[in-house]
Structure 1
Amino acid sequence: MELYKFPQMTYGAFDPMLSDSDQLPSLYQMAPKDTSLALGMVSLVLHFSWTWVGLVIAENQKGLQFLSELREEMDRNKICVSFLKMISNSNMGKLSNRPTYDLWTRETSPANVIIIYFDTNSVLDVGFHTGQHLVTWRVWITNSQWHPATFGENFIIDSFHGTLIFAHQHEEISGFKTFIQTVTPSKYPQDIYLTIFWSMNFDCTLSNFDCTLKNCPPNASLTYLPVSRFDPAMSDESYNVYNAVYAVAHALHKMLLYQVQMQPSKTGELQGFSPWQLHHFLKELQFTSPIGDQVILDEQTKLTTEYDILNFWNLPEGLRLKMKVGWFSPRVPCSQQLSLNEDMLEWGTGITETPRSVCSESCHPGFRKSPQEGRAACCFSCIPCQENEISNETDMEQCVKCPDHQYSNIQRNRCLQKSVTFLAFEDPLGKTLVGTALSLAILTAVVLGLFVKHRDTPIVKANNRTLSYTLLISLIFCFLCSLLFIGRPNTATCILQQTTFGIVFTVAVSTILAKTITVVLAFKVTAPGRRMRQLLVSGAPNYIIPICSMIQLTLCGVWMGTSPPYIDTDAHSEHGHIIIVCNKGSLTAFYCVLGYLGSLALASFSLAFLARNLPDTFNEAKFLTFSMLVFCSVWVTFLPVYHSTKGKVMVAMEVFSILTSCAGLLGCIFAPKCYTILLRPDRNSLPGIRDKKHSDRKKHF
């Protein structure tokens, strides 16, 4: 045929292999491009969230091409293949003798949805194969080549009730039903196929002599046959033949007009033409068929077909009705390509609800997918999100970490706003610490007032009134400086917290050191002319306080000048809270301040310990020793506890250490003196002092 350039019109499904215009320049495919079938089926699968799908594909060139397109679309949309079976003629004889071959039972394949692809040459092959195995409980998605007649009238066709079919979209041709109702062998005697078909279906007698029919029912008509024997609906092939006839008619019409215009005959008759001359008009042919469809023969400009989605109804048995339930068009935006009326859908036998076909159930919000080793991506386990992570969608690959200012709820599906917190005055803990600090400050002020009132008594004079006043005043400030740690931090309080703490504590501890040195000097000086006596008389120990304080002030100045404290937030110590804290800035400077303070305390403790047994009426070396022991114990305990706590508890721990250490100094040093002043005034007089000295000497000797 190609040798003489005869135009050839194919009415089968579109085949890309036949689109080579260099090798087949005379061939025209009437069917529209079928390249969006895979996209349409995957869109339908996605619509119902089916991610676990079985494939049954005809093993030929078109089947392999469709499989390639289908796998590409499935991979792009994360749909997994449960199983793949290629069907060919070579399988047919083998399968009937293999009872162990059972891809079609629920036990061996969990996929509830199966895509099956036919073409014109493989309909009988696939039909035979599926006919040997009962395929109930499945949803089938197939193309327009599928037909119940493929499986024979004895097959339990209700197994396919609910099948979804992608058929080429075209309108009903006017007069086609009337043609089907009136067609008979007598009307078309040249059609041998129609005569044989009539004899097989209407029990007519076929004459071997002249192939005529006898004894046929008078009212025999194709419309009386069941769908399993004859489907009165126009098939895609019939529609393509219809368009092919019109295509040739349009091409002939254009060619005849061209001849009339270009080569008018003198006799009024048209000259003959060769078949190859028709190609020029066929290649550029575009027309609208009588039913309104656009027909294009050029492969380059041919439109991709649109599909009607048909639902196969066969309940009750024998109904065999294809009901249009939707359509798919690749020519519109993605969100509008698929249209489906789910209310009209009827599913497979025994299925009352929309079926599910997944390898693993979806991971709900609060969980993430964890792949199962050695299995498809659709098979996974669901792992709960970790603390402070969420997943707010179904089947999330990874959990999302909440921002620092938020935290995850118990369900791990939403981030909640963290509440801002700090050691506030209104908190029970804050109220307790404030009340304790004020009470101790007032108590210290009372002691100071008591000492001022009895400043001329021997016990006050003997213990160096100036140093006692300085120590009490510094203790008042020590108690009050703890209030800087309570309340919402700001830049000023963050700086004042550490500097005030370091300086006032240095004054207090250096005062104790000065008192200790004074006691030691007082009891060690025996000769009036010795240099140590001059130190004591001149009040040299009192200079210890400004010197030590100046050193601490220098350390604090360096700290504030290099890396001062600043406002910081702690979003991790307490679940659901953001704690506003004062960051120390330079930890090295902070520990230098504490270390210097600790060295002063250790020096005071050492001197007081050495002078604890010196005899005298008002020797306070024992009290200084015990007070510094309490002071050092508090701060040695403070360091590990401070580092093991977080948030406002850490702040409360520092305040507690300040109050405890200061209360230890106040109680150990001044409680005995207040006891003597208030309750034992007899010992705070000259006769009492003499008696006390006499008894002390006896004990000493």
Structure 2
Amino acid sequence: MVFAIKEINETPDFLPNITLGFQIFDSCLSEIKAVRGTVELLSGKRGPVPGYRCPTRPLLAGIIGETLSSLTIPMARIMGVLHYPQISHSATISTLSDKLQFPSFLRTIPANTFQNMALAQLIGHFGWTWVGMITSDDDVGLQGGQQVKKLIEENGGCVAFLERIHSRYSMEKVLGVLEVIREHPVQVVIIHSAASQAKVLLEALYTRNVTGKTWVLSAYFGISPGMYAHEAWKIFNGTLGLKPYANVISGFEEFLYGLHPNTFPDDIFIKHFWEKAFKCQWLEDNAVITIDPEALGTKSMYCSGNESLNEKAISLFELNDMSFTYQCYLAVHAFGQAMHTLVSCTSAQGPFSNGTCADINDVRQWQILHYLRNQHFTTRSGHEIFFDENGDAPATFNIVNIQISQEDEFQVINVGKIDHKATEGKEVTITMSSILWSGGSSEVPRAVCSDACPPGHRKAARVGEPVCCYDCVPCSQGEISNGTDAVTCLKCPGMQWPNEKHDKCVDKLIDFLSYEDPLGIILAISASFVTLLNVSILCVFIKYRNTAIVKASNRGLSYFLLLSLMLCFLCSFIFIGHPRKLTCMLRQTVFGVIFSISVSSVLAKTIIVVIAFKATNPNSSARKYLGSKTPTCIVFFCSLVQVLICTIWIMTSPPFPEMNLKSYNEKIIFECNEGDAIFFYCMLGYLGLLATVSFIVAFLSRNLPGSFNEAKLITFSMLVFVSVWISFIPAYLSTRGKYMVAVEVFAILCSSAGLLGCIFFPKCYIILIKPDRNSRQYMVGKKHGDNNKL
């Protein structure tokens, strides 16, 4: 303050013909003394008279101070009533920003609101989520502590303990707080308190060797190693702290080095300071200095005046921490700038009514306050200063790191900055390589209750524990989390599904029975093989069409059955491949019609066998049904019913391709929706009815005599057919996607192959392997003299 006033007074063309002075009152950390000193300054008398101002005294431009918020509040209430400006360089409590209660209060230091935000941002920057907190047992500490706790919890962290401390606490209460710190596993502890309140606790922590903790100091805490006894300040090695932004004060160190009792004879502090600094005493008469030889080497040695401050400047003046010093420097310059603007006012351009200016010979305190509120200037170091509508200065903090060397050299190193005017996400800038942590480590301390949940997991709270203590639970099916410490997992859209790690959604696989699929390839090869086999049998029957066994098996009906079976094999290809509108409409309908033709042909063959045995008597009426019309009519009318069913199906509710998102979570089934399922089951039911009738007729006629009897072969073929399709129903209903289609194709191939094999393989065997049996005589039993009747 003295330096800033001296700097202003020695600046040419600044406050011409006006000299700034100062008067100092010591509050001794007492609210009563702070109030008394304030009233004395306002009244101008040692015997304070409230509301009175001694006119013979110099003009009181305003007050700088107090340091503690608890002392500043009563002062600011008095100053506000009388409209005297007050600028604090250290009081941070946010209550003072209320201009209804404190209309004349301003400050160069940011309010607690910004400091608390800065503390929470600093904790979050290092990823600390599990911290302890010590607050002073006063309004600033309690209010600030609760706000910091709330901000930390909003960022996903938590405060493991919050203990209060005060300089007036008994040692028993102090030791209780100490035990909480000692016993708790938390590695990072915030101290939101003035240094004077935490002094006893910190000294006790040092003497009881409570080490290994990383301390984080609020801007409220003044870093002053000289105030601690027993070298207890060593406990701060590796500590991080917030400090109000401070810049270099040009010429200030030279000013400090030049302090001397002879240079400032009227300064009441310098002699006492000199004696404390050099452990010596000034003689009453400073003109002649004598030294008592017996006192040499003792505390009572006399000061010579030749002692040098240069070697002790850093330790004496604590030049490592210039934060509050700089704020006081700014406060003095703010008053100086306000007074300069006041005296520089041009008539008719003033800020008051009718453009008037304040009269320096009769200036009012509210006029000075007006100029102060509207100040916006830049210091010599380039620091921009102004006051907002709440009387608060720009919120910028230095991040400092306390480093103590092995030689006990105490250093406060600037390692970063928190600027609330910066763009979002860039408020905190830190040079990590410059930080030395507790114990001399270069690694950031770990302060978490639970490790961060990786992507693909979410946090699950532990019952009865703080929010930052949790378990990591994998995301459920269909959900992802793409960041660490996710509170909830997000569902993937309908067309997407989580990857294996559940950290992102990927497009679902579109699944259908394709020709590239191994299952599709096997079915296609099988269908091709049995089709070729069918064609081969048809060729054999055509080549040997005039032989007895071909004629006896109703040649025309056999050709028709072979052709229909070949179409049955070929229709399986419609089921393989990309579902399209046309193929979906043809799949079941073509299959149903062709199969009904095949089964109708088998039924016709069975009925013809029965009629043939009934018509052995020349006078039998059944002989008229032995012509080609009977099997044709049977096949036509039996197939016609199926054709009608399928036609109505296509006209009213035709099958169509669709994306099935429900059957499988991880893939999309591209399939044919059968439309109205009633028609599908009617089609299958009718096929079953035809097969059942054929089976019954063939079964009843299986014991008819003679080699012409095909009933046994048809009975066995129908048994195979019915068994396949009865097994098909549960298999079809229990599968989804391409496997459902594969089951149907398999049933088509197996049932068709069963008919082909059971009915035609024995005949081909005789035709190709046993041609001697392929004669009418053998078939009617005459070859070996058999006289059996037909």
Fold agreement, TM-score > 0.5:
yes
- The 8 Å contact of residues 367 and 399 in structure 1, kept in 2 or not, is answered as yes
Query: Which of 640, 647, 657 pairs up with 1:567?
Result: 657
- The 8 Å contact of residues 137 and 159 in structure 1, kept in 2 or not, is answered as no
TM-score by length of 1: 0.86
- The 8 Å contact of residues 56 and 85 in structure 1, kept in 2 or not, is answered as yes
| 17 and 412 in structure 1: CA distance in 2 versus 1, 3 angstrom threshold | closer
Q: Which residues of structure 2 form unaligned runs of 5+?
A: 1-38, 40-49, 53-81, 290-299, 350-357
Give the equivalent residue in structure 1 for 2:750: 660
Question: AA paired with 2:239?
Answer: T
Deviation at 1:111, TM superposition (A): 2.7
| 80 and 430 in structure 1: CA distance in 2 versus 1, 3 angstrom threshold | same
2:228 equivalent to 1:152: yes
2:184 equivalent to 1:136: no
Give the equivalent residue in structure 1 for 2:16: none
- The 8 Å contact of residues 57 and 116 in structure 1, kept in 2 or not, is answered as yes
Give the equivalent residue in structure 2 for 1:495: 585
| 242 and 690 in structure 1: CA distance in 2 versus 1, 3 angstrom threshold | closer
Question: AA paired with 1:7?
Answer: Y
Distance between the aligned counterparts of 1:570 and 1:536, measured in 2?
Answer: 52
Q: Secondary structure at the match of 1:53?
A: strand
- The 8 Å contact of residues 207 and 214 in structure 1, kept in 2 or not, is answered as no
Give the equivalent residue in structure 2 for 1:176: 252
Question: AA paired with 1:119?
Answer: A
2:683 equivalent to 1:626: no
| 134 and 632 in structure 1: CA distance in 2 versus 1, 3 angstrom threshold | same
| 219 and 318 in structure 1: CA distance in 2 versus 1, 3 angstrom threshold | farther
Question: AA paired with 1:359?
Answer: C
Q: Secondary structure at the match of 1:346?
A: coil
Query: Which of 729, 736, 739 pairs up with 1:639?
Result: 729
Q: Secondary structure at the match of 1:35?
A: helix
- Measured against aligned partners, the alpha-carbon deviations of 1:634-683 in whole angstroms (never above 9, x if no partner) come to 11112222333344333333222212211211221122333334444554
Q: Which shows bigger deviation, 130-139 or 37-46?
A: 130-139
Query: Which of 25, 48, 73 pairs up with 2:151?
Result: 73
Distance between the aligned counterparts of 1:573 and 1:260, measured in 2?
Answer: 87
- Matches for 1:101-250 after TM superposition, within 5 Å: 101-105=178-182, 108-119=183-194, 122=197, 124=199, 127=202, 134-144=209-219, 145-149=221-225, 152-188=228-264, 191-205=267-281, 215-225=302-312, 230-232=317-319, 235-249=322-336
Deviation at 1:363, TM superposition (A): 1.8
Q: Which shows bigger deviation, 525-534 or 643-652?
A: 525-534
Distance between the aligned counterparts of 1:248 and 1:167, measured in 2?
Answer: 23
Q: How large is the Cα RMSD of the aligned pairs?
A: 3.8
Question: AA paired with 2:133?
Answer: L
Q: Secondary structure at the match of 1:158?
A: helix
| 350 and 82 in structure 1: CA distance in 2 versus 1, 3 angstrom threshold | farther
- The 8 Å contact of residues 707 and 779 in structure 2, kept in 1 or not, is answered as yes
Distance between the aligned counterparts of 1:680 and 1:626, measured in 2?
Answer: 22
Q: Secondary structure at the match of 1:91?
A: coil
- The 8 Å contact of residues 165 and 198 in structure 2, kept in 1 or not, is answered as no
Q: Which shows bigger deviation, 603-612 or 346-355?
A: 346-355
Distance between the aligned counterparts of 1:483 and 1:261, measured in 2?
Answer: 101
Query: Which of 102, 116, 132 pairs up with 1:54?
Result: 132
2:689 equivalent to 1:614: no
Q: Which shows bigger deviation, 25-34 or 350-359?
A: 25-34
Give the equivalent residue in structure 1 for 2:456: 366
Question: AA paired with 2:51?
Answer: L
| 54 and 469 in structure 1: CA distance in 2 versus 1, 3 angstrom threshold | same
Question: AA paired with 1:103?
Answer: V
Deviation at 1:433, TM superposition (A): 3.1
- Measured against aligned partners, the alpha-carbon deviations of 1:262-307 in whole angstroms (never above 9, x if no partner) come to 9xxxxxxx999678x2322223322635555555577635433322
Q: Secondary structure at the match of 1:358?
A: coil
TM-score by length of 2: 0.77
| 33 and 370 in structure 1: CA distance in 2 versus 1, 3 angstrom threshold | closer
| 150 and 695 in structure 1: CA distance in 2 versus 1, 3 angstrom threshold | farther
Q: Secondary structure at the match of 2:538?
A: helix
| 554 and 615 in structure 1: CA distance in 2 versus 1, 3 angstrom threshold | same
Give the equivalent residue in structure 1 for 2:84: 7
- Measured against aligned partners, the alpha-carbon deviations of 1:235-255 in whole angstroms (never above 9, x if no partner) come to 555445444544555555566
Give the equivalent residue in structure 2 for 1:267: none
Deviation at 1:93, TM superposition (A): 2.4
Question: AA paired with 1:102?
Answer: E
Question: AA paired with 2:113?
Answer: T
- The 8 Å contact of residues 123 and 146 in structure 1, kept in 2 or not, is answered as no
Question: AA paired with 1:138?
Answer: K
- Matches for 1:683-698 after TM superposition, within 5 Å: 683-691=773-781
Give the equivalent residue in structure 2 for 1:266: none
Deviation at 1:454, TM superposition (A): 4.0
Deviation at 1:541, TM superposition (A): 4.7
- Measured against aligned partners, the alpha-carbon deviations of 1:33-59 in whole angstroms (never above 9, x if no partner) come to 443111212222222222222211111
| 7 and 254 in structure 1: CA distance in 2 versus 1, 3 angstrom threshold | same
Question: AA paired with 1:88?
Answer: H
| 467 and 693 in structure 1: CA distance in 2 versus 1, 3 angstrom threshold | farther
Give the equivalent residue in structure 1 for 2:44: none
- Matches for 1:227-376 after TM superposition, within 5 Å: 230-232=317-319, 235-249=322-336, 277-285=364-372, 286=375, 288=377, 293=383, 296=386, 300=390, 302-376=392-466
How many residues align structurally?
688
Q: Secondary structure at the match of 1:334?
A: coil
Give the equivalent residue in structure 2 for 1:85: 163
Deviation at 1:601, TM superposition (A): 0.2
Distance between the aligned counterparts of 2:200 and 2:551, measured in 1?
Answer: 121
Give the equivalent residue in structure 2 for 1:483: 573
| 576 and 442 in structure 1: CA distance in 2 versus 1, 3 angstrom threshold | same
Q: Secondary structure at the match of 1:102?
A: helix
- Matches for 1:338-417 after TM superposition, within 5 Å: 338-386=428-476, 389-402=479-492, 407-417=497-507
| 410 and 17 in structure 1: CA distance in 2 versus 1, 3 angstrom threshold | closer
Deviation at 1:415, TM superposition (A): 4.6
Deviation at 1:479, TM superposition (A): 1.6
Distance between the aligned counterparts of 2:671 and 2:135, measured in 1?
Answer: 68
- The 8 Å contact of residues 142 and 164 in structure 1, kept in 2 or not, is answered as yes
